[in-house]
Amino acid sequence: MMQIGAFLVFLVMGVTNLLAVQAGLTAVLGVPVLLALVVAVPVFYFRFVGSAAGIVGAIVGWHMPVPLAVLLFCWPVLVYGFLRGGAEARSVLARRAA
């Protein structure tokens, strides 16, 4: 059940990122929507390039505030960092207690 939830979350994130890249290409370069979609697919495939293009597309194409656009595309990294930091803190505290 957990795998299905994770799959759906990342599917929605991927489609959102693809559409944001498309909106950014359309707004910045003025290319037609279908051509922007074709160009957006290989761009969004690369992790950091796609995230950066998604952030720019959300800001320029969807007129989203910068912090919200960054949060929209970077929340998995923030969640991972928070969980990893908590695990490391528990590990250090467990070693001190022993």
| DSSP category for residue 19 | H
Rounded-to-integer distance, Cα 80 and Cα 38, Å: 31
Q: Which two three-digit tokens encode residue 72?
A: 């929209």
At 76, the pLDDT band (50, 70, 90 cuts) reads confident
SS3 23: helix
Q: What is the pTM of this model?
A: 0.78
Return the percentage of the chain with pLDDT > 70, whole number.
99
Residue-range definition of the domain harbouring residue 51 = 1-97
What's the number of domains the chain is made of? 1
Q: What is the pLDDT of residues 16-61, one digit of tens each?
A: 999 999 999 999 989 999 999 999 999 888 878 888 999 999 999 9
The answer to whether residue 66 scores a pLDDT higher than 80 is yes
